[in-house]
Chain A
Amino acid sequence: MRALVVLLLTSCVAASGYDPNAKPTTPVPSDEPDTEPLPPTPKAARKKVGDPRVYLDGGHDS
């Protein structure tokens, strides 16, 4: 009886497509106008930053 219940539960979980180890997926936030053209940034206003790779023992290629 117990085996039957386990089998039934397992089948239900499998049928639902639930995978406890799956990476959470997201609905696409399609209302965001993320690909609309934005005003160009003047060259003088463009920000420059240092490399985020900062090797503990010195330079970039060590």
Chain B
Amino acid sequence: MSGVHATRMGEALAEVGLDVRDLPPLETLSSKQRMRVMKTFTESLGVPCVGCHAEEGFTADTKRKRVAKRMYNELVRVLAIDDKERSPVFCDSCHDGTMFILDRREKRKVATYMAEVLVGKLRRVDGRDHDCGTCHEDGPDFRFVTTWKSMPAPEIDRSLPAARVPPDPASYTPTTKACGQDLHLCPLQFWMRERVAPSFAAGDAKDVAVAMDEVAKYSPDASWKWGDLAHGAAEAARRGDLVAARESCQECHVKYKAEWRASHRTRKP
């Protein structure tokens, strides 16, 4: 078992009128559609209904229901295989009959797997760049599943503006897959995954501090506050405050990510 693959659930979903390439939010499904989708969940993850539902009552909220809903609404609906056909993905594409698919004990191995497979072999259906932010948002939140468990899953309301609006396409052409080589990642993206992500994920504040001091050197423009933010993150990490360190990372991403992508994305760290 390795990698991701196009879903094998397309026909089952089509039987209840669902197009696997354009799935509606979970909360908008009819009861017949919802029952079929639930069955595809159990088949994809290799668990019975009580793998997510509470035995005491199927309508009760549970942590696993929160995760399943958000995985479907916010990831499955957004991703496809990065091939010519843009083959659709569903839960089985990654889970392949197993609920837990990542051994997180070896952080660097997980980071490499995520870069090569979960980023390198997938794309977003909406044309935006697919990177770690698709799942981890732009904190980034390396424990997003734990975060999802801690709060009720939101509902998707298409009349509301998106929480994270992409840069104006007139000033930005997504090229994530074009500027890397083997892993199809831009040099800084690859460096972040290899060097920074595992340290954050492992909670290794000392190593995060070293990495952030190194990031400070990569500012492409002396007028940017990139260096200050990176050193701020390093200082926070040295204090053991990884939450504050992540906030500095996020501030830098919010301020400079779009411009970096537009003008500097092939630059090597």
Question: What is A's interface to B at a CB cutoff of 8 Å?
Answer: 19, 21-29, 32-41, 45-57, 60-61
Contacts and interface: CB of A to CB of B under 8 A. Distances in A.
A12 B3 CA distance: 25
Given A28-B100, A47-B154, 10 more contacts: A26-B102, A33-B63, A34-B63, A35-B51, A35-B53, A35-B54, A38-B63, A46-B152, A48-B155, A56-B126
A26 B128 contact: no
Query: 7 closest pairs, A vs B, by CB?
Result: A37-B60, A24-B103, A50-B162, A37-B54, A50-B160, A47-B154, A48-B157
In this complex, the member of B3, B98, B149, B152 whose beta carbon has the largest number of chain A beta carbons within 10 angstroms is B152
Interface of B: 1-3, 22, 25, 50-57, 60-64, 67, 73-74, 77-78, 98-106, 109-110, 113, 117, 124-128, 149, 151-152, 154-158, 160-166, 169, 174
B2 A23 contact: yes
A24 B56 contact: no
A54 B100 contact: no
A60 B98 CA distance: 31
Candidate in A33, A34, A36, A61 with the most chain B CB atoms within 10 angstroms = A34
B125 A41 contact: no
Contact of A49 (B51, B78, B155): B155
Given A21-B2, A52-B78, A35 B158 contact: no
Contact of B161 (A23, A26, A50): A50
Contacts of A34: 62-64, 67, 149
B78 A48 contact: no
